[in-house]
Amino acid sequence: MKEQLPALIVAVPLLAALLVTALWWFDRRLCFPIAIAAVGASLAAAVTLLLRVLSEGAVDYYLGGWPPPVGIAYRIDHLNGLIAVAVSLVSFLNLAACRTVAEQEFREKTGAFYALYLLFTTGLLGILITGDAFNLYVLLEISSLTGYALLGLGPGRAFLSGLNYVFMGTVGASLYLLGIGYLYVITGSLNMADIAAILPSLLPSNLVIMAFVLCLTGLFVKMALLPLHGWLPNAYTYAPSMVSSLIAPLTTKVMIYVMIRITLSVFSFDFAFDETLLRLPILWLAILAITIGSLMALSQRRLKKMLSYIVVAEVGYMVGGFWLGNRSGMSGAVLHIINDAFMTLCVFLAAGAIAFKAEDDRLRNLTGLFRTMPATMAALVVGALSLIGIPPTCGFFSKWYLISGGIEAGQYGFVAALIFSSLVNGILFFRVFEICYFEPTSPPHAYRYRRTVPAAGTGAVTEAPADLLTVLIATAVLLIVLGLYSGEIVTRVIHLALPPGLS
Amino acid sequence: MESLATFILTKYNYWAVIILLVIGLYAMIAKKNLVKKIIGMNIFQTAIILFYVSIGTKRGATLPIIEHAYGDSAHAVHAADYINPLPHVLMLTAIVVSVATLGVALALAMKIHAQYGTLEEDEIQEKIMESEPGSTSTSG
C-alpha cells in the first residue's frame, strides 16, 4: 500500500469522479462526501510522500512495474512533493467551502460539478508528479478540458470567455506538444530523466534550442504571461465563484512548476541559462507582466476582474524570480508558488462569498460590507495584506526572497517592478476597504429595487454560509502560519529542490 | 535556387505541417465566426498530429508486427526494417484529446448561440455592449 502512494494520488480522485457521476443518478447525498474523501485521500498521500522524500530522498514509481524509458515513471522529489501538498490542500479547502454555494448555483448540475472538480484535481496532481514528458501533456489536457467545462457551467458571459480560453489553451498545449515532438526526434525518448541524460551529448544544437523555445512558449500561454494573458481575466471573472476560486489559485502555479521542471530537469540549468539567450528577454517579459498587470488591475471596476489582473502580475513575480537564475530568486519563485496559491484562494473565496451574498461585485456597490459581513472582510484583509506584502503574512517573505534575488543578480528593473506592484496592490485594496468601510450602507439590490424592498434590514446582505466562512478563516490563519514557517520551508525543502551548484 | 528547391522538397512533410499550423492560427486570429475559429483550432491540432505521424514513417519499412516471433531465429528483429510505432500510438491519445477539445468547444458555441442568437463575434460584442454599458472589454 505504501509503495503505491504515487499512483493513488492520481487514481483515487480519478475513480471517485466516475463514481460521483454514477451516484448522482441514485443518491445525490453521497456525492459530496465521496468527493471530499477522495481529495482528502490525495492530500494525505501527498503529505505522506513529502515526509518520505524529506527523510529518504526522491521517490521513483514505475506504473505497472515497467521501468523507464519504456514505461511511464512518476518521480516525487522536494520540488513537486511540496507543491503537490499545496495543490491538494487548496483543492481540499475549496471543496470543503463550496457545498452550500455550489448546490444553490448549479442545482441539477452539481453532480457534474463535483465530477469535473475531481478530474481537474487529478490532472493537476498528475502533472506535478509525472516524470514523463508526453504523459505530462495528456494530464495537462485533462486538467484544461475539465477547466473549460467548469468555466462553461457559469452564467452570462462565461461561455464566450470560456471559448476564448479553449482557443488559447489549445494553442498553448499544442505548442508544448510540438516542442516535445522535437525532443523526441533528437533523443528518441520521452522520459524526462532519460532525455536529460541524452541531451548534453547532442549540444550545441539549434533543434534543442527550438524545442526549448516551443515548450516555453506553450507554457507561457498556459500560465498567462503578459503578452499571452488575454484569456485569463475574462475567464476568471465570469466563471462561477466556486470555480474561479479553484482554477485561479492552481492553474497558473502548476504551469510555472512545469516551466521550472522542464528547464531544470529536462534541459539543464547550464543549457537554459548559459547556452540560450533567453534569460534577459524572459526577465523583461516578467517585468512587463508585473507592471502592466498591476496597472490594468488599477483600472478595473469589478472586484473579481481586479483580482484576475493581480493574478497576471503575480505570474510575472514567479517567472521573473525563476529566471534571475540565483538561489534567492529561485527560492523566492518556488516559495511564491506555494504562498500565492493560498493568497489567491483566500481573496477569491472572499470575493465568491461577497458575490454570493451581495449578488454584485462592482466595487462601487460594495458599501458597508464590513458591517454586514465582518468575518469575510477580515479574511479579505489578511489576504490583501499578504498580496501587498506586509510582514507577518506569507506574501512578505516570498517577496523578500524575490527582491533580494533581484538585487544579487543586479536586475534593478525587476526589483523596481516588484516594489511598484506592491504599492499598486496597496492602493487597490485600500480603495476596496475604503468603499466597504467608510461609505454608508446601501445594499446594492436594495438600492436598485428600492420600491420592492419594504424596510431596511430585510433582504440586506448577511454573513457568508458557515462552511465557506470556516474555510475562509482557516485560509486566512494559514497565510500567517505559512509566513511564520517560511524560513523552515525554504531551508529544509526548497533549497534541496534547486540545483546544488547555485550561487 | 536549386538548393532551396531541394531543401523544400526533401523536407516537404515539415513544410506541410508548418503551412497547416499557420492556416489554423490564421483562422483562429482573423476569422470572426466562432465555428470557423473552432475549425482553425482543429487544423492546428491536426498539423501537430501529422508532424508526429510523419516522423515515425520510413521509406520501404514495414509494420512493426513480428510474425511467428519469439524462439524463431529466422525472424530476428531488425529495427531498421520497421516503422517506429511509438509516435503513431502517442497520436492515438492526441487524437482523443483533439476530439474532446472539439466537443467542448462546440458545446460552448451552442451555449453562445442559444444566448446571443448569433455566432459572429462582432455581433456578440455589440450585444454585450448593449447589455452592459460601460464595459470596456474587447475580448471574450
**Helix/strand/coil (H/E/C) assignment for every residue in A411-475:** CHHHHHHHHHHHHHHHHHHHHHHHHHHHCCCCCHHHHHCCCCCCCCCCCCCCCCCHHHHHHHHHH
Contact B140 A134 (CB under 8 A): no
The per-residue pLDDT for range A188-236, each reduced to its tens digit, is: 899 999 999 999 898 888 899 999 999 999 999 999 998 888 889 889 9
Which residues, given as ranges, of chain A have pLDDT below 70? 1, 441-461
Mean per-residue pLDDT for B21-44? 94
Nearest to B104 among A138, A145, A235 (CB): A145
User: In whole angstroms, what is the distance from residue A257 CA to residue A322 CA?
Assistant: 10
Cα-Cα-Cα-Cα dihedral of B62, B67, B71, B72, to 10°?
-80
Chain B residues within 8 A of A171 when measuring between CB atoms:
25, 28, 41, 44
Q: Is A383 helix (H, G, I), strand (E, B) or coil?
A: helix
Shortest Cα distance, chain B CAs vs residue A149, angstroms: 7
Question: Is residue B112 within 8 Å of B128, Cβ to Cβ?
Answer: no
Chain B CB contacts of A163 under 8 Å are 34, 105, 108-109, 112, 140
In angstroms, the Cα distances linking A374 to A363, A439, A466, A489 are 17, 15, 13, 32
The total domain count for chain B is 1
Percentage of chain A beyond pLDDT 70 is 96
- What residues of A are in contact with residue B28 (Cβ under 8 Å)? 167, 171
- For the entire predicted model, the pTM comes to 0.92
CB A249 within 8 Å of CB A168: no
Interface test mutation site (partner A, options B14, B23, B91, B97, max chain A beta carbons within 10 A): B97
Amino acid identity, residue A415? V
With CA atoms as reference, the chain B residue closest to A230 would be B139
| pLDDT tens per residue across span B72-129 | 555 556 777 778 888 989 999 999 999 999 999 999 999 999 989 989 988 988 888 8
**Looking at the domain assignment, is residue B121 inside a domain?**
yes
What pLDDT is recorded for position A84?
A: 95
Find the length of chain A.
503
Full domain range(s) for residue B10: 2-57+83-131
In single-letter form, the type of residue at position A403 comes to: I
- Spatial separation of the C-alpha atoms in residues A192 and B131, rounded to whole Å: 50
- Do the chains contact at B111 and A159, CB–CB below 8 Å? yes
At residue A61, φ and ψ (nearest 5 deg) are: -140, 130
- CA pair distance A220, B104, nearest whole angstrom: 23
Q: Check: CB of residue A62 under 8 Å from CB of residue A73.
A: yes
The pLDDT of residue A356 is: 86
Rounded to two decimals, the ipTM of the complex is: 0.89
For residue B51, the distance in angstroms to the closest alpha carbon of chain A comes to: 8
Q: Name the residue among A138, A163, A171 with its Cβ closest to that of B34.
A: A163
CB A86 within 8 A of CB A341: yes
What's the length of chain B? Answer: 140
Q: Which residues have a Cβ under 8 Å from the Cβ of A179 and sit 6 or more positions away?
A: A210, A211, A212, A213, A214, A215, A216, A217, A218
H or E stretch including A75? strand A73-76
For residue A457, what pLDDT is reported? 42
Q: How confident is the model at residue B139 (pLDDT cuts 50, 70, 90)?
A: very low
Alpha-carbon span B30 to A160, nearest angstrom? 17
Chains A, B: CB contacts under 8 A, how many? Answer: 82
CB contact under 8 A, A178 and B48: yes
Q: Which residues of A touch B55 (CB under 8 A)?
A: 181, 184-185
A371 at the B interface (CB within 8 A)?
no
Cα B5 from Cα B10, distance rounded (Å) = 8
> Domain holding B9: CATH number?
1.10.287.3510
In a domain, B99, yes or no: yes
Do the beta carbons of residue A146 and residue A135 sit within 8 Å? no
Select the residue of B55, B104, B112 nearest A148 (Cβ to Cβ).
B104
Is A178 in Cβ contact with B51 (below 8 Å)? yes
Cβ atoms within 10 Å of A3's Cβ, excluding its own: 8
Q: Do B112 and A163 touch (CB under 8 A)?
A: yes
Name A76's bridge partners.
Answer: A59
